[in-house]
Structure 1
Amino acid sequence: MSSVAVLVELARSGTSGGHVKCWERFAQSAARLPGHRPALDLTVYFLGTRDHVETLAPHVRLVMLRPVLSTAAFTSADAAEDVTDLAPYHPRLAALLPRHDVWHLTHGFAYATTAVRLARHAARTAHRVPRLVASVHTDVPLLASVYARYLADRRLPGAHPAAGRFLADRAAAWLRHRRDRLLDSCERVLVPTPQGAAELARTLGPHRVCLLRRGIDHDLFRPDATARAHLARAYGVPTDRPLVLFAGRLDATKGVPLLTESLRLLRARGRAAHAVMAGSGAEADAVRRALGPDVTLLGPLPQARLARVYAGCDLFAFPSRTETCGNVVAEAMASGLAVLLPEGARTTGWLTAPGHDGIVVPRDDPGDWADALTALLDRPDLLRAVQQRAAATARTTHPSWDQVLTEDLLPVWTAEGLCRRAPRTRMA
């Protein structure tokens, strides 16, 4: 039996982001594996407020470990940022890892650096060397760049704008270098899109880069004719105008300022639309001030409640360029929403016929986004056609989590012919 440890150094909760949800879904799929599948024992390690184990099946479990150096103290007042562990070494994880054959890195902090350090030590001392693989879920350097600017604005009020840019550029460059060194320690690196695979292949070589798609729960995310009335009852959302949904962190990393301004322009043009935003973040107050009664801020929601919010809305506007995949787009399409996405963003990979099963906005300009929204709101027939095509694309082309596990992950975890090379890089 192949024993796999997946290392997710993020705090797990009911409203965690897509990275955590992704591995929860894969673990649930692994628990459903039929007996004829390759033998697999899977442990997914998260961060938690206390050490404990959640067993999903005899061969699948989730393990939460307390962080050594938590970032919780550095989060904003709304705690929208993901909590990770900045320690260079996690002793408790180090004691548990040797029982596993495959160590799967998904981030670049305490868990990952501990795994690489142990693997290097095993190679030097002629002990059994584990197989190291990795998957890319978040553009951490880009996110750090945006948050560095937020930090500069908050902690250095009145400072020259160049100070924020300097901090942002240095943070992004350091984390990019650090990420590349970690990935170079792995025999296989999995990425969610062909575009991302091509970028990493230039650094790592094409033979070391594989696709790891994202799945969709088609039973949970689907059209629901009763959802609109539920939104009105549960959240007071108006039912007499189109609803434009956004789901994710309410900050600049997701393009929220751009979307807010485009919605303000839409209102100035006399178009009746109401914004619904699920999530929290640094831009929440700015959104509330700019849109007033024309926005409903729901805060973070668990998946089951979020699914009904999707199904009760009409359009999903998502200007983010930081996504490596953007599962929220797939969830919106499966729920029967017309999606609006930035041209060139990796999220457009969910579309099979841009312009028909989703709208691609050419420029990151509020006027362009307002124009795209207006074009759909002024033509209900076009809006319905895009909604129907989006739902059809989701049904016919977006894989389930079970499919992705068996087709993308298991071949990498259980392949006997993959090279076992010791990590070359030295971690700080």
Structure 2
Amino acid sequence: MSSVAVLVELERNGTSGGHVKCWERLAESAARLPERLPDGSGSGLDLTVYFLGERERVEVLSPRVRLVMLRPVLRTAALASADGAEDVTDLAPHHPRLAALLPRHDVWHCTHSFAYATTAVRLARRAARGSGPLPRLLASVHTDVPLLASVYARYLAGRWLPGDRPGPGAFLADRAETLLRRRRDRLLDSCERVLVPTSAGRAELGRVLGPHRVAPLRRGVDHERFRPDPGARGRLGREYGVPTDRPLVLFAGRLDATKGVPLLTASVRLLRERGRAVHLVMAGAGAEAGPVRHALGADVSLLGPLPQDRLARVYAGCDVFAFPSRTETCGNVVAEAMASGLAVVLPEGAHTAEWLSAPGRDGIVVRRDDPGEWADALAALLDHPPLLSAVRHRAAATARATHPTWDRVLTEDLLPVWLPQPPSRDRERPRAA
């Protein structure tokens, strides 16, 4: 049996983001694996997923699968905004408690580039210089941290620098992205295999690491939880006071500039100025919550962060899912919206558009990040109910036909990478930074 440690250096709670939810769902799938496979052999997997938490604790999903929360060493919550919408991670260069636990596992799977990852890489290099068992070091990319930092730096520069001075902000953003991308690539170069969700991401890292070291890791969808529900609209009105007599446009995610919230706000405001009866529903929290409320007033419902079950009902009660973000590596919220039967509107060229099988038919892509173009795209759906209905129907059909379940992702993408032959001293040693 191979013991796998997945390192998710984000704080786990009831409203955590897609990265945490991804590994919660995959752990649940692992817990459903049979003790014995059809050929009589064991499934061969013992899985521990490490998250951050306010206190150390263990949540057992099955005799072979558990979730472990460890206290962070250098918690980023002190750097977060007052609404606390940002993901909480650990910026320490080393995590002593994790370092004590890792040697019990054969496979160390990094999913980020902060305290857990740097600890695992450091220990793997130390093991390579010793005489004991050599762990297998793997990684998967869930967030484009360099791009996210660049977008956020430009946003902050626009708020802090007086007047129209794009030069310093652009320089800082480009510099931050370059440095963080180099750092990420150095960490990934220590791994024997890196899993990436999108074809563009695989091509980029293939040029850096070699295509033989890069493999796909799709995102799954819980089709039982996220599905069309004719009764959801009424419940949305009763539970949250959302007006149900007009088209409802939904956004789900962190309410900040990195997700394109100012662009969506401006486009909905433009629709209202044109006389369209449209209402924006937003599930999430963030720095833009106040500006959105100020700009749209009664034309927006801010629901705050929601757990998955309640979020599923909100999806099913709306008509359109608008998601202008270009910083996603995958964007599970798009797949969840499509499975719920919403028409999705996305930026052309964004990774999220890879969820579509036939852009223009099972979802709409907008060429430029311009409020006018986004307002036009939304109006094209909202002003033509037969078109909106057709796109919603095709979105749900695409989700059923092409978006895999979490069980399939585990068995087809992860188990073949996690469960090769046990490590030996002859395996290629981790590369130096």
TM range (shorter): over 0.9
Q: What runs of 5+ residues in structure 2 fail to find an aligned partner?
A: 38-42
The secondary structure found in structure 1 opposite 2:90 is coil
2:49 maps to what in 1?
44
1:383 maps to what in 2?
388
Q: Over the residues paired in the alignment, what is the CA RMSD in angstroms?
A: 1.6
1:422 maps to what in 2?
429
2:367 maps to what in 1?
362
2:94 maps to what in 1?
89
The secondary structure found in structure 2 opposite 1:49 is coil
Q: Kindly tell me the number of residue pairs found equivalent between the two proteins.
A: 426
Q: Distance in 2 between matches of 1:153 and 1:364?
A: 17
Q: Distance in 2 between matches of 1:292 and 1:162?
A: 34
1:250 equivalenced with 2:247 (yes/no): no
Q: Distance in 2 between matches of 1:382 and 1:16?
A: 34
1:72 equivalenced with 2:88 (yes/no): no
Alignment of 1:343-362 (within 5 A): 343-362=348-367
What is the deviation of 1:157? 6.8
1:232 equivalenced with 2:233 (yes/no): no
1:12 equivalenced with 2:19 (yes/no): no
Q: Distance in 1 between matches of 2:357 and 2:161?
A: 45
1:191 equivalenced with 2:203 (yes/no): no
Please say if residues 227 and 316 of structure 2, whose CA atoms lie closer than 8 Å, have aligned partners that are also in contact: yes
Return 189-198 or 56-65, whichever deviates more: 189-198
Q: Which of 108, 112, 115 pairs up with 2:113? A: 108
Report the residue type matching 1:343 in the other structure.
E
What is the deviation of 1:417? 8.9
Q: Distance in 2 between matches of 1:240 and 1:10?
A: 39
Identity across matched positions, percent: 77
2:345 maps to what in 1?
340
1:27 equivalenced with 2:34 (yes/no): no
Report the residue type matching 1:18 in the other structure.
G
Q: Distance in 2 between matches of 1:359 and 1:249?
A: 22
What is the deviation of 1:35? 2.4
Q: Distance in 1 between matches of 2:5 and 2:12?
A: 16
Report the residue type matching 2:186 in the other structure.
R
1:125 equivalenced with 2:125 (yes/no): no
1:326 equivalenced with 2:346 (yes/no): no
Q: Which of 369, 392, 417 pairs up with 1:412? A: 417
1:308 maps to what in 2?
313
1:209 equivalenced with 2:245 (yes/no): no
1:138 maps to what in 2?
143
Q: String of CA shifts for 1:3-35, please: whole Å, max 9, x gaps.
A: 000000000000000000000000000000012
What is the deviation of 1:164? 3.3
Q: Distance in 1 between matches of 2:77 and 2:422?
A: 42
What is the deviation of 1:161? 4.7
Please say if residues 187 and 420 of structure 1, whose CA atoms lie closer than 8 Å, have aligned partners that are also in contact: no
What is the deviation of 1:390? 0.5
Q: String of CA shifts for 1:103-131, please: whole Å, max 9, x gaps.
A: 00000000000000000001111221100
Q: What runs of 5+ residues in structure 1 fail to find an aligned partner?
A: none
Report the residue type matching 2:252 in the other structure.
A
Q: Distance in 1 between matches of 2:50 and 2:164?
A: 41
What is the deviation of 1:365? 1.1
What is the deviation of 1:180? 0.3
Q: Distance in 1 between matches of 2:78 and 2:175?
A: 22
The secondary structure found in structure 2 opposite 1:299 is coil
2:40 maps to what in 1?
none
Report the residue type matching 2:32 in the other structure.
R
After superposition, the Cα gap between the structure-2 partners of 1:87 and 1:106, relative to the gap in structure 1 and judged at 3 Å, is same
Q: Distance in 1 between matches of 2:92 and 2:301?
A: 38
Q: Distance in 1 between matches of 2:422 and 2:204?
A: 25
Q: Distance in 1 between matches of 2:82 and 2:165?
A: 25
Q: Distance in 2 between matches of 1:116 and 1:154?
A: 37
Return 110-119 or 29-38, whichever deviates more: 29-38
Please say if residues 254 and 322 of structure 1, whose CA atoms lie closer than 8 Å, have aligned partners that are also in contact: yes
Q: Which of 180, 185, 193 pairs up with 2:185? A: 180
Q: Distance in 1 between matches of 2:168 and 2:72?
A: 31
Please say if residues 260 and 323 of structure 2, whose CA atoms lie closer than 8 Å, have aligned partners that are also in contact: yes
1:63 equivalenced with 2:58 (yes/no): no
Please say if residues 182 and 425 of structure 1, whose CA atoms lie closer than 8 Å, have aligned partners that are also in contact: no
